[in-house]
Amino acid sequence: MADQYVLLAHVAATWAMVGLIWMVQVVVYPGFAAVGAREWRRFHEAHCRRTGRVVGPLMGVETATGLWLLGAPPGGAAWWLPWAGMALILGNWLATGGLSVPLHRRAARGDERARCLLVTTNVARTAMWSARGVLVLAWVAPAAG
């Protein structure tokens, strides 16, 4: 029974991140261009702080439950799906820490190129989280049938 709750938490965290990353890709990052230079630092600092309050727990739950599911794969799902899911989680952590965080630091200092690169480089995270969304649906499909 506990494994079903872990799977449910995993699916919920993943799909929350899918929705969030698409919002960031389509609305938030492009909207940075509308913020004037005088307001930028204060706006960006608040954006990062508030976003971290949402993203941090979701990524934590997704990672913790993903690790759990490696040891207790969802019934009826192919054995490799949890491993593929963890590979995508790792890819998201690496892209976030290796690309997005450094670009946010540069953008915080007023680097206009970094603002533009946030949109471009976020495509990788958007693709990985979208793939994860499809993947976790493949985990729950056998349980639902």
With a cut of 70, which residues of the chain have pLDDT below it? 1-2, 142-145
pLDDT, position 3:
86
112-144 helix and 101-108 helix, angle to the nearest 10 degrees: 150
- Token pair, residue 62, equals 């997704």
Contact between residue 17 and residue 59 where contact means Cβ atoms under 8 Å apart: yes
pLDDT, position 145:
59
pLDDT, position 143:
61
